[in-house]
Amino acid sequence: MEEQPVTTMKQAQQLVKQFALMNQWSDAPTIDKFDHLHEELIEMSKHLRYKSEAERIQCTKEKKEIFVDGIGDLFFALCRLANQLDIDIEEAFKTARKEVFRKYNQKSERKP
């Protein structure tokens, strides 16, 4: 499969879907994708656990490639999960963004 430019979440989701089809991966929902997301988060978090804020900042600079790889793996797995659940990832993000902005804008408005 040729590398195609991806500029939107929708394009990324479609590319992941095409890749899965090409490799004959099932898009039936499975617990595996949830587990995969969890494993990727744990893999990244272990580098920051039990460190001070300054140490975490330094670690993310020194081990940036680990975090770039982890975020990429998470996004790919998230696209797979969205495909398995027949969820438009851009629409899900828009909904979440509205909720987070509403929730935290209210909190910031209450501060003196």
Domain boundaries, the chain: 10-110
* pTM for the predicted model, two decimal places: 0.82
**CATH number of the domain located at residue range(s) 10-110 in this protein:** 1.10.287
Positive or negative torsion for Cα 85, 72, 41, 10: negative
* Structure confidence by residue, pLDDT tens digits, 62-109: 999 999 999 999 999 999 999 999 999 999 999 999 999 998 887 666
Question: From CA 49, how far away is CA 63, in angstroms rounded?
Answer: 14
Give phi and psi for 30, each to the nearest 5: -135, 160
* Structure confidence by residue, pLDDT tens digits, 40-56: 999 999 999 999 999 99
